Structure 1
Amino acid sequence: MVGLNGQGVEVSSLLLVTKSISLRGSFGASKEELMEVLKLISSAKLVPKLREIPFWDVPKGLEDIKKNKVEGQDRN
């Protein structure tokens, strides 16, 4: 999960893979709220809709968000 900060971020895909690193972030939620959501997901009380895209397609994925093409996204 990646949050938005208005700037680009450089990430080493080699480091992500070799260290088994997962990216997570939040848009409009506190750390406590994010932790609560992760608990709900881990207990299967909340099942998120996920769409995986290749890392190199992230720019297109962000464009899809801007164009409201992402199912389940609340932009209000």
Structure 2
Amino acid sequence: MNLPMRISFDEKDSTYVIVTKGITKQTTEIQINLNGIEYQLACNLKGDWDAIDATVNDHPGLLKAIGRNIKLRYLL
């Protein structure tokens, strides 16, 4: 069972769930569920996590912040 994780971004609280199991330093893609929508985050060459195929309506800033949150939590 995946526990929901919270993040505050742009003065709003959001909750997301990491769907990917067994995250390690070699992980290059992570799947998350944010507000009932599945997103795929991928590590770019700079080591930042960006959403694949995210549109402006998907709040790319929030998705990037979630990627940083996961990176810090799992020491990626």
| Pairwise TM-score range, normalised by the shorter structure | under 0.3
Larger Rg: 1
TM norm structure 1:
0.23
Structure richer in helix, relative to its length? 1
